[in-house]
Chains A and B, each alone.
Chain A
């Protein structure tokens, strides 16, 4: 059976939400077309209790198996990159030959994914989209073009075509989490022993080691307001909030957050808050205020301190899964519609304008349709043609778990009060 490998990133003990989204999509694809989903964790050996807990957590989020990748260097680096895990990754790809290798689009992914693709002779699709349609796996590139691997020129009646692995990065926010309840086995994947420069596992000579790191402040990573001046030493932001008609090169910014009534139609943004133009200033202030609030502490002990071998104590240690995702408003299913467009001719679709009251101030927002889609709620079901037909009955890990209807999920909010154009509730052609 073919495999889907999903590399999971951790930050302060918690798997990134974007990584779990990639795992969720892998689960749906695996169930739909028959692939085994493995979660790869760049992590040193952990205690049996942690191992068991990781199997429970990642099984819950869609994995059929968990593989702990052992770094070559005993020194834990602050940032994830390819070199320390190169040989363990190659070993994983050799033992579990992937048809798909997925990672959330992060700085680490942009280091690991292309190099891995080059190493294993695979196809690399940045910000791509793997979906299952009509019973088959379909791949779309960053521009939304349907692509497929070229036919193997050496294949004939005697020689089967070679399976070319596809390495993809997936943007944050595009897919929903998978939810299940199966505990899965956890295994280790150590680097292959032997000469580092052997042909079997060629590893770049030289190599770099981490000398240190310069912590980035939140304002450096998230640009709510662009700085007055920048210079070549300025570190580009990972997240940026932009208003209408402001675009950022996707090489510079990983997550673009668009504000404004037409932000819902922006294909270059990962997140949108489609508020009225007049409310943008208030929202920006609210974002700053929300960040000023203390971060909620994980309910359970985190994994950061557990990345070393052989703890002496027998304490039951449990990794955190983040802040209450079990009952959160994170969506299930594909979180936004994919809209087939003929060439570049199609313009943005008409959108419903919904008046919303938040924090006592009313503003209008543009909606793609059903009011239940807010805050990551599942986008209204797209048409059959555009839907990822991956949600099958009888799968081992149920990928679809609506956290109640959208209204239930947001019962604590003041909800939409008017819908001005019910004839344009669905944007799909």
Chain B
């Protein structure tokens, strides 16, 4: 089973899950091949890079960038015939949901791990562990889903590039996934001011008050 693994910064955990679920196909929406450098990925893994000027993030809000990436990823998944898409939780959190919406698949967010399990009638199911407010939820469903995986913890060691020559990715244009720039979602947000507002945290005088508040937010 092919699994589409979307390449983004800190996607190590997602790549590991994709490899567990099947035969990963690494897909990046990037201007150059450097995005593939240093990834903990077998050299035999198929690599695909898609780029078009309409995907240039410099002029778009992060949410609009992810909406456009979602359109591309969904089309690529259709072309590749992959029913499982694994990606790392994006900055805004919109990418996974938007891909799932376009593919009309279930979406599971905050995924910690996933594996394939046998269902009835030789059917392969996905068993996904999802972080919740007070427990890790174990979900089971058909092997057709978009999984938004939590990024790795800071202390998890990532392997530095070892100088190995990795295979060059296949480069696709939007036309290769049956899209044109006009098919991409129109921007929904515009930034009105470059100045930003910083926030200050709520202040607590001591341990008891802090703990009381954390309990009110669900930490027993």
Contact = CB atoms under 8 A, between A and B. Distances in A.
A85 interface: no
B166 interface: no
Interface in A359-396: 359, 365, 367-368, 373-376, 379, 386
Interface residues of B, number: 88
A351 to B, nearest CB: 10
Interface stretch (A52-60, A302-310, A311-319, A335-343): A335-343
Interface of B: 10, 12-13, 16, 61-63, 70, 89, 91-94, 96-98, 100-101, 104-110, 112-113, 126-142, 144-145, 150-156, 186-220
Contacts of B190: 147-150
Given A14-B216, A213-B136, 10 more contacts: A119-B101, A146-B192, A208-B141, A216-B136, A264-B203, A287-B207, A287-B211, A365-B205, A374-B203, A375-B204
Q: For B10, B92, B200, B215, which residue has the most chain A Cβ atoms within 10 angstroms? A: B200
A184 to B, nearest CB: 22
A323 B99 CA distance: 41
A78 interface: yes
Contacts of A106: 133, 218
Interface in A124-145: 124-126, 129, 140-145
Contacts, number: 344
A218 B218 CA distance: 10
A233 B214 contact: no
A246 B213 CA distance: 22
Contact of B193 (A145, A229, A365): A145
A107 B197 contact: no
A79 to B, nearest CB: 3
Q: For A204, A248, A336, A410, which residue has the most chain B Cβ atoms within 10 angstroms? A: A204
A270 B201 contact: yes
Contact of B217 (A17, A215, A283): A17
A146 B70 CA distance: 24
Contacts of B108: 81, 111, 208
Interface in A177-236: 202, 204-216, 218, 221-222, 226, 229-236
B129 to A, nearest CB: 7
B200 A287 contact: no
A33 interface: no
B194 to A, nearest CB: 6
Contact of B213 (A17, A126, A171): A17
Given A216-B136, A295-B215, A336 B199 contact: yes
Interface in A73-119: 77-83, 106-108, 110-111, 113-115, 117-119
A155 interface: no
B126 to A, nearest CB: 8
Given A286-B206, A341-B196, A115 B133 contact: no
Interface string A1-29: 00000000101101011100000000000
Interface stretch (A39-47, A252-260, A397-405): A252-260
A267 B107 contact: no
Given A110-B93, A232-B152, A208 B206 contact: no
Nearest to A171: B199
Interface string A264-285: 1111011111100000000100
Contact of A251 (B63, B91, B128, B141): B91
B134 A290 contact: no
Interface residues of A, number: 130
B201 A173 contact: yes
Instruction: For the complex of A and B, list the 8 residue pairs with the smallest distance between their C-beta atoms, beginning with the closest.
Output: A79-B132, A286-B207, A208-B141, A144-B196, A114-B97, A17-B216, A272-B201, A118-B101
A323 B150 contact: no
Contacts of A9: 133
B32 to A, nearest CB: 25
19 contacts: A79-B137, A80-B133, A146-B191, A205-B106, A211-B140, A213-B136, A214-B129, A235-B131, A238-B131, A251-B89, A252-B150, A255-B217, A264-B200, A266-B200, A271-B202, A336-B202, A341-B195, A374-B209, A413-B205
Contacts of A423: none
A163 interface: no
A91 B200 CA distance: 37
B113 A232 contact: yes
A379 B200 contact: yes
A115 B190 CA distance: 21
A427 B12 CA distance: 41
A50 interface: no
A107 B96 contact: no
